């Protein structure tokens, strides 16, 4: 049996590993308005729920206050999982305008903004009590710089939960 859902996305993603951020954003703009959630469900993609579980566990002993950033929120799957676990004040951000609109339409975020994790982020040091960045790092030009940026904007001792292929 052949899974045709992998064809249109897999070929596009493979071609994008060396692509510019604008190229990757264009791919996600197209995918977000089509089959993104359905494709991930077909693949059995469990990272959003697993990330939300990890954030909940790590915040359970925290007394800090403030928002949680879902950096590279895509269509908002992590935001949905965080809401189901009663994690509040979640801000989503993504570099794909179509993904931002899809995530915003879910109504699970306090705010959803356009942001590019390849660039310095316009948040003050220590803004967030936790950060998630799920399914993002494979497409970044400089993962180390992004990790430094996320560590700058998370509160001291706050968790940064991310996945890397």
Listed in sequence order, the residues at least 6 apart from 37 whose beta carbon sits closer than 8 Å to its beta carbon are 75, 77
For the chain, the domain total comes to 2
Q: Are residues 138 and 66 in the same domain?
A: yes
| One domain, residues 25 and 57 | no
Beta bridge partners of 161: 132
68 and 29 share a domain? no
Residues 84, 117 within the same domain: yes
Q: What is the pLDDT along the chain (165 residues), one digit of tens a residue?
A: 334 444 444 444 444 456 666 666 666 666 566 676 666 567 666 678 889 999 999 988 776 789 999 999 988 999 999 999 999 999 999 988 888 999 999 999 999 999 999 999 999 999 999 999 998 887 788 999 999 999 999 999 999 999 876
| In a shared domain, residues 76 and 32 | no
In angstroms, the Cα distances linking 45 to 102, 128, 143 are 18, 26, 22
Domain of residue 23: give its range.
5-42
Residue 133 phi/psi, 5-degree rounding, is -150, 90
The CA dihedral of 29, 24, 149, 85, to the nearest 10 degrees, is 40
* pTM score: 0.78
């Amino acid at each position: 049996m052949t899974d045709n859902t992998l064809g249109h996305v897999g070929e596009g993603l493979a071609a994008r590993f060396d692509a510019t951020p604008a190229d990757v954003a264009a791919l996600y703009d197209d995918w977000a308005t089509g089959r993104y959630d359905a494709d991930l469900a077909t693949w059995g993609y469990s990272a959003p729920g697993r990330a939300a579980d990890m954030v909940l566990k790590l915040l359970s002993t925290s007394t800090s206050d403030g928002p949680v950033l879902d950096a590279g929120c895509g269509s908002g799957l992590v935001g949905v999982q965080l809401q189901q676990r009663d994690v509040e004040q979640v801000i989503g951000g993504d570099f794909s305008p179509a993904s931002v609109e899809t995530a915003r339409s879910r109504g699970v975020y306090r705010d959803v903004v356009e942001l590019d994790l390849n660039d310095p982020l316009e948040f003050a040091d220590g803004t967030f009590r936790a950060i998630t960045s799920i399914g993002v790092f494979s497409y970044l030009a400089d993962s180390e710089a992004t990790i430094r940026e996320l560590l700058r904007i998370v509160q001291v001792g706050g968790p940064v939960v991310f996945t890397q292929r």
